[in-house]
């Protein structure tokens, strides 16, 4: 008899059909996760697949047959990994397949913010370009040969650094939980302490994971350490940053500008002060948003689910320690 699973994200029909070959598939959305039908299906489910659903003790208590939880994203701060592992449940994510696409987005955000590209687009289309050359008050700042400070030198961080150093001759400073010998060798990246990165960088880019320890990793103190000509970029997780402190830093001109793809609450509130600032470039969390990459992420999630429930090791298992328990 086929095992039952819950799919709670919009998937291509081709991948849904692949799941149906192996499982009884119950399709839900996050909007109706509190519906009785969701919890009825959860009681029987061996696996769940999607992204952003909070998989915590409360949910797990309602899922006695659960064997695997699958995130179709690289981040998994929605997983209580300790609780999941304690129950012998496998947890997976989808790294690697989105690395280059996210790095493209981040570097585009750097360029757009530094050169004020969205603002200048509006300026021209509004018919305000009536003198040539434009006044210096509309000038941006250079990216090439400047110093990029990156917090988090994982796969995506290294891909951003490769673009920065090889493409734009930028100097690279980084802070990470561990040293990255390859980045140091290939891109002349220099490991520095946390405060020094903020003090010395022309661009500060955050690519760190969100954990209990990293909530508001960057707040008023860190913005005050930055140069008043510096640009702040966040494309990892919104809650890494104290948004109130960021707003204040921009208003007080403690930093020059910011480029954001993520926010503390998503979708971001339409009345958020960050949306009213010309020196802030705002994207709607599109880091991995190309058709090809999103498909590859979902495809990898399906592979994780099928292999995990067929007694094999999922390709991108997060909590490998559960395998010891199974032995």
Contact present, 100 and 79 (Cβ < 8 Å): no
Q: Does the annotation mark 87 as catalytic?
A: no
Return the closest-CA partner of residue 153 out of 173, 180, 172: 180
Among candidate residues 17, 58, 265, 266, the one labeled active-site is: 266
Q: Using alpha carbons only, what angle is made at residue 161 by residues 217 and 102, rounded to the nearest 5 degrees?
A: 75
Q: Which run of H or of E encompasses 192?
A: none
Q: How many residues does the chain have?
A: 327
Identified catalytic residue from 237, 243, 296, 303: 237
22 Cβ neighbours under 8 A, 6+ residues apart: 2, 3, 306, 309, 310
3-state secondary structure of 16: helix
237 is catalytic: yes
Whole-angstrom distance, CA of residue 184 vs CA of residue 204: 18
* Residue 28 annotated to the active site: no
Among candidates 324, 250, 310, 249, which has minimal Cα distance to 280? 250
For 237, the enclosing helix (H) or strand (E) is: none
Q: Side-chain half-sphere of 219: how many Cα atoms within 13 Å? A: 6
Strand locations in 142-197 (E):
147-151, 171-175, 190-191
Catalytic residue selected from 52, 87, 115, 285: 285
**Which of 33, 232, 201 lies closest to 113, judged by CA?**
232
Name the phi and psi angles at 109, rounded to 5: -65, -40
| Residues taking part in catalysis | 237, 266, 285
């Amino acid at each position: 008899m086929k095992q039952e699973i819950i799919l709670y994200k919009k998937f291509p029909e081709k991948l849904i059909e692949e799941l149906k070959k192996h499982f009884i598939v119950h399709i839900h959305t996050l909007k109706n996760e509190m519906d009785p039908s969701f919890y009825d299906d959860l009681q029987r489910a061996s696996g769940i697949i999607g992204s952003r659903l909070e998989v915590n003790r409360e949910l797990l208590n309602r899922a006695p047959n659960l064997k695997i939880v699958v995130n179709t994203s690289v981040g998994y701060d929605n997983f209580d990994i300790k609780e999941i592992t304690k129950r012998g449940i496998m947890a997976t994510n989808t790294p690697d397949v989105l690395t280059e696409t996210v790095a493209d987005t981040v570097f585009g955000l750097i360029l757009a913010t530094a050169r004020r590209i969205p603002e200048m687009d509006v300026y021209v289309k509004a018919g305000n370009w009536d003198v040539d050359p434009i006044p210096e008050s509309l000038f941006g700042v250079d990216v090439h040969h400047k110093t990029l400070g990156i917090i988090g030198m994982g796969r995506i961080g290294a891909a951003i650094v490769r673009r920065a150093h090889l493409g734009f001759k930028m100097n690279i400073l980084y802070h990470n939980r561990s040293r990255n010998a390859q980045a140091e060798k290939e891109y002349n990246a220099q490991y520095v302490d946390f405060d020094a990165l903020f003090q010395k960088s022309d661009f500060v880019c955050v690519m760190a994971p969100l954990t209990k320890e990293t909530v508001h990793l960057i707040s008023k103190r860190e913005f005050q350490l930055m140069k008043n000509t510096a640009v702040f970029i966040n494309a990892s997780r919104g809650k890494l940053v104290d948004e109130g402190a960021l707003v204040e830093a921009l208003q007080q001109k403690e930093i020059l500008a910011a480029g954001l793809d993520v926010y503390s609450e998503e979708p971001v509130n339409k009345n958020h002060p960050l949306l009213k600032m010309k020196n802030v470039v705002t994207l709607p969390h599109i880091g991995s948003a190309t058709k090809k990459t999103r498909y590859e992420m979902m495809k990898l999630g399906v592979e994780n689910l099928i292999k995990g429930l067929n007694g094999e090791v999922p390709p991108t298992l997060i909590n490998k320690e559960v395998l010891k328990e199974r032995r």
